[in-house]
Structure 1
Amino acid sequence: MNTETLIITLALSSAVLVWTLWPLLRRRQENSHLAEYLKQEEQLRVLYDRVLTNVRDLDEDYDTGKITEDDYRQERDLWVQRGVQVLKAMDVLQAQMQAAAPQINDDDDEVEAAIARYKQGLRA
C-alpha cells in the first residue's frame, strides 16, 4: 500500500467517523444545555424556599415579640423583594427553556416523520 492510498483511506475514514458521530455529539450538547437549565431551576427553587422560610420566621418572631415592628417591616420588605426577584428569574429561565425546547423537538419530529414514511413504503 502506497502513501497516497493510506492518506486517502485515513481521510475518508475520518470523514465517515465524524459524519456518523456528529448527531450523537450534538444530542449530548443539547442534553447538557437542558441539564444546565434544570440545575439553575433547582437552585432558584432552593433560594425561593429559603426566602419563604425567612419570611415565616420573621412573622413568628414578630408575633412572639422578639423583634420590633420597624425591624419586622424592614426585614419583611427586604425578603419579599428578594422573593419577587427569584420568581422573576424563574420566569426568565422558564421562557429560555421553552424557547430552546422547540429546536430539540423539531429534530425528533423530523426523525419520526422519516420513520413513518419508511414504514409506509414497506407497506406499499
Structure 2
Amino acid sequence: MVYPQFQRQAVLVKPLPKLSGKFGVRWEVTTQDALDLQDPGRTETFDAVIVANGKFSVPSIPTLPGMDTFQGQVMHSHDYRHPEKFSNQVLVLLGANMSGQDIAIGLSAVAKK
C-alpha cells in the first residue's frame, strides 16, 4: 500500500509516451520536499493525476435579496464538513458545480427535504 506524502510539492507532471495505463496513459510525477529546496526530488509513476489545487477554496457568496433578514444559516461549501450537522432539516443548495454536486449527494441521505 502506498501512503500519501505530505510536505511535498510537485515540480513536474508529464504523461509518459507509448505506455498504456488504466486510463490510457501513465503519468510521471516528480516531487520535492517543500521545506528543503536542496532535496533532489523523487520521481514516481501513476495511472492518474488528480489536481486538487483549492481553486474553489476562497468563498464567494453573492448578495441576494432578503439575505440580510434571513433567520437561517448561510454557509459556503468551503465551510461544509459533514452532512450529519444537517440531519432532518429542510435545506436549499444553490449551485450545482463540483462542490455543490458532492455536497448534495451527502445531504440527500440526511436531510428532511
Scaled by the length of structure 2, the TM-score of the pair is 0.23
Higher-RCO chain (CA-CA 8 Å, sequence separation at least 6):
1
Scaled by the length of structure 1, the TM-score of the pair is 0.21
Higher helix share: 1
